[in-house]
Structure 1
Amino acid sequence: MHEITVVGGGFAGLTAAITAAESGAGVSLYEAHHTLGGRARTSEGPYRTNEGPHALYRRGPHWTWLRRRGLLGPMAVLPPLEGLRFRFRRDGALRRLPPLALLKLGRRRAGQAPVDVDFLTWATGEAGVAGARAAAHYMGVALFHHDPGSLSAAFVQERLRRATALPPEAHYPRGGWGEVIDRMATHARDLGVRIETTSRVDALPEGHGPVIVATHLDAARRLLGDDTLRWDSGRTALIDLAIRTRRGDPFVVSDLDAPGWLERFTAQDRTLAPAGVQLIQGQLPLAPHESKADGTAHAETLLDLGFPGWRERTVWRREALAHGRTGAVDRPGATWRDRPAIDRGQGVYLAGDQVAAPGLLSEVSFNSGVAAATLALRTISPARRRTAAGTA
């Protein structure tokens, strides 16, 4: 009686499964990996890393949804603003404050920025060349893209406004994003969702019921045989670093000379690393011609500036390359509505962070998961939902 199938057990897939099950549908969820979570996984071991810097934005729709279900859990408290120790690389040097023009741009309403003009051109008219470039590079934190200035002004400005909001919107699930995923999975099972890990779905069965494909677009394209499932994304080098604690280490080093971001996650959550050790995670966007080694060199430049003696203090290090897994980016003239549609026809629906749904970062996955489940539920009569729920 499991009438809705969800392929993919990341944030989007679990959101879709819970939404469908709460409405009385029987749901089966299949995840190819041995653990759930997708990019929201938190690694096991002494260093509790996410796949690159992660944050949960408080004003997003998923915040209220998770909280109402008791799934949000405890949040790590940010240090007081005066103790955050943000540092900004400008003109090759580390500074305590960003340009005033960047902050002024952050106050502009998102609706003021045009869709069909690139951000750098629009922002230059608003704040001058230097401020516009600094703002574009700063947005590497939320876009994972090597050239945010080339993207739609409306797209970038919406994210700049939220990334510079005071008080800060960014919050951090204590213990890492994996804690939220674990609570979501438990809630899904309590609702009767059948979850199978290490279960790769290579083809949709004939005569299938509603199917929600909650994978990244590359996997969805192969599964559905649909070459139109493409959208621009970022490409970035990831670095995880554990270093011995030293007083005065910054919380964040943001590169305003080129997109790049380092964040000391143990500043707000000491559970992420053993006592006496600080956990730093960074992402360094890469142009098409650049390699992971280029990103690593960029990270080391920022580390040299912000974390003196970091090489001698390093006790653990890991590097990775993320390609096409950093969320959708919209070019001038395009909006989220132009991305691959959620409803693919014949009872197949898409969810994930590169599909036609609004939001910032994980909010796209959440919104598309809810939308996909809602559309799938319309194909199941209320009577059949009740029957499925009673036998799940």
Structure 2
Amino acid sequence: MARTADPAGTGHPAPRPAPARLTVIGGGFAGLTAAISAAEAGADVTLYEAHRTLGGRARTADAPYRTNEGPHALYSRGPHWAWLAQRGLTGPLAPLPLREGARLRFFHGGALRRTPPLGILRLRTRRDAPVDQDFHTWAAGQAGERTARAAAHYAGVTTFHHDPGSLSAAFVQERLRRTTTLVPEARYIRGGWSELTARMAGHARGLGVRIETGARVGTLPESGPVIVATQLESARALLKDDGLTWSSARTALIDVAVRTGRGDAFLVSGLDFPGWVERFTTQDPGLAPRGEQLLQGQVGIGPGEQRADGIRRAERLLDAGFPGWRARTTWRRDSLATGRTGAVDLPGTTWRDRPAIDRGHGVYLAGDQVAAPGVLCEVSFSSAIEAVSLALASAPAIRNTAGPRRT
């Protein structure tokens, strides 16, 4: 055991407490955030990931078509942005070319429009959206039925839900406000989100974090705080806690590579139904082979619908925004995401009502469906930081230092 100075003059230096051991289960964005934060505070951290690769839902497919598991972007006004930038983890970004802003289109009334209903922009400025009323009812009272429906469908880009209008008005309006700013918040990681994951993993290892992949954890370790940073369904099974549930969404995902064509939109947002298709190679051409464009989109589907129902709606957006895309297709992939799209709050609930981070007995949750504020991956980040803070408080041997520790 290491020795410290002898302030009492006893002639016997006091033993220095060994760093507390902290276990992180899950190697996605939340798990890596937790591991880095804990290691910077002096903890002895081991991270276990069940898959052979890190990243969770932030994985990117290998070339030639570097698709993420659904659309991904970082929002620059979120709490995670400064944290990542401070540590040099954002890396090269793929900024949206300003000239492409003219190719943002809205599918409304069965046709492409250059602008959305002006009432949507007015709704975003309101600060009194109630928690206990659904968004559609509240918005209709503010801006009329037609605008309310279009605004609810537009919110599908940050909720992935088949009926955002049925969710809490406060929940949806916050997301509407974040996605309709004059200066767009979205920032794209060049090369896909696996690049961010790799940088975070490298930084964690540099801080001394032990990372074990292909290591599925079936029981909790007997000593030291544990942060469970997995999907809520996996956490429920691991902790044997049936109370770990929260509403999420089902969404059909579509990835299409097409030969480059003139007149293709950059982005098509569905206002007749919730859905979104984006040309990701606009800002990052390296995601597809030369002469091809990579399109990615999502459409929320209801409990009684099949993946094919969502894909048909996505194809309507493709037909409108990317003329002749079927004849130009060089590669395609369809998939379904269930319960992997983050938390959605029903009327009468807020993020505070979701499963608590502190589960007692030194176990803490992190992820995008737990009790933390934010939009999309911001929830994972905020919950990871809070979980580490609580774990450190329960382990006095750790000296919580401010800011990144230099290596």
Q: Structure 1 length normalisation: TM-score?
A: 0.95
Cα distance between partner residues in 2 of 1:222 and 1:28: 21
Closer, same or farther: CA 80–384 of 1 in aligned 2, 3 Å: closer
Is the Cα contact below 8 Å between 2:63 and 2:288 reproduced in 1? no
- Offset, 1:107: 2.4
**Structure 1 residue 135, shift from structure 2 partner:** 0.4
The SS at the match of 2:54 is coil
Specify every segment of 5 or more residues in structure 2 that has no aligned partner in the other structure, as ranges.
1-18, 402-407
Instruction: Trace 1:19-98 onto structure 2 (pairs within 5 A).
Output: 19-80=37-98, 83-98=101-116
Deviation at 1:377, TM superposition (A): 1.1
Quote the residue 2:302 is aligned against.
Answer: 287
Structure 1's unaligned 5+ residue stretches are 387-392
What residue in structure 1 maps to residue 218 of structure 2?
202
Matched, 1:336 2:354: no
Please state whether the residue corresponding to 1:248 is helix, strand or coil.
Answer: coil
Q: Deviations over 1:153-173 (max 9, x none)?
A: 000000100000110011101
Kindly indicate whether the alpha-carbon contact (under 8 Å) linking 2:20 and 2:395 is maintained by their aligned counterparts in 1: no
Matched, 1:157 2:173: yes
What are the within-5 Å matches in structure 2 for residues 1-392 of structure 1? Answer: 3-80=21-98, 83-109=101-127, 112-205=128-221, 207-382=222-397
Aligned partner letter, 1:276: G
Quick check: 338-347 or 175-184, which moved more?
175-184
Q: Cα RMSD between the aligned structures?
A: 1.3
- SS across alignment from 1:108: coil
Distance 1:91 1:211 in 2: 51
**8 Å CA contact retained: 1:238, 1:322:** yes
Measured after TM superposition, the shift of residue 288 of structure 1 is 0.4
1:108 shift after superposition? 2.3
In structure 1, what residue type is equivalent to 2:372? A
1:291 is aligned with what amino acid? Q
For residues 59-104 of structure 1, what are the alpha-carbon distances to aligned partners after superposition, in whole Å with 9 as ceiling and x for unaligned? 0000000000000112111121564411111111111111111122
2:198 maps to amino acid: D
Q: 1:383 to 1:84 in 2, by over 3 A?
A: same
- If each structure's helix is expressed as a fraction of its own residues, which one has the higher value? 1
- Determine if contact 2:41/2:398 at 8 Å carries over to the other structure: no
Which secondary structure state, in structure 1, belongs to the residue aligned with residue 298 of structure 2? strand
Cα 1:144–1:383 shift into 2, 3 Å: closer
* Contact persistence 2:266–2:282 (CA under 8 A): yes
The one-letter amino acid paired with 2:103 is R
Displacement of 1:384? 8.1
1:199 alignment partner AA: A
Secondary structure of 2:197's match?
A: helix
Structure 2 CA distance for partners of 1:133 and 1:383, relative to 1, 3 Å: closer
CA distance in 2, matches of 1:347, 1:12: 18
CA distance, structure 1, for counterparts of residue 248 and residue 44 of structure 2 = 34
Quote how far apart the aligned CAs of 1:381 are: 2.2
Tell me if structure 1 keeps the 8 A contact 2:250–2:339: yes
| CA offset digits 1:21-52 (Å, max 9, x no partner) | 00000000000011111111111121111111
What CA distance in whole angstroms lies between the structure 1 residues aligned with 2:109 and 2:396? 62
SS in 1 for 2:144: helix
Aligned partners of 2:171, 2:130: CA distance in 1, in Å?
A: 9
Kept in 2: contact 1:337–1:357 (CA 8 A):
yes
Per-residue CA distance 1:329-385 (angstroms, 9 max, x = gap):
001110000000000000000000000000000000000000011111112223688
How far apart, in 1, do the equivalents of 2:152 and 2:359 lie?
Answer: 34
Stretch deviating more after TM superposition (95-104 or 333-342): 95-104
Aligned pair count reads: 383
Contact kept? 1:2, 1:28, Cα under 8 Å: no
Instruction: Name the aligned partner's letter for residue 180 of structure 1.
Output: L
Would you say the 8 A contact 1:26–1:385 is kept in 2?
no
Q: Secondary structure at the match of 1:349?
A: strand
Are the counterparts in 2 of residues 137 and 258 from structure 1 also a CA contact under 8 Å? yes
- SS of the equivalent of 2:234 reads helix
The one-letter amino acid paired with 2:263 is: G
C-alpha distance 384-85 of structure 1, shift in aligned 2 (>3 A):
closer
- Preserved CA contact (<8 Å) 2:248 2:339: yes
Q: Match for 2:113: what amino acid?
A: R
Partners of 1:84 and 1:52 lie apart in 2 by: 24
Q: 1:316 to 1:376 in 2, by over 3 A?
A: same
User: Letter of the aligned partner of 2:122 in structure 1?
Assistant: K
The one-letter code sitting in structure 2 at the alignment partner of 1:40 is A
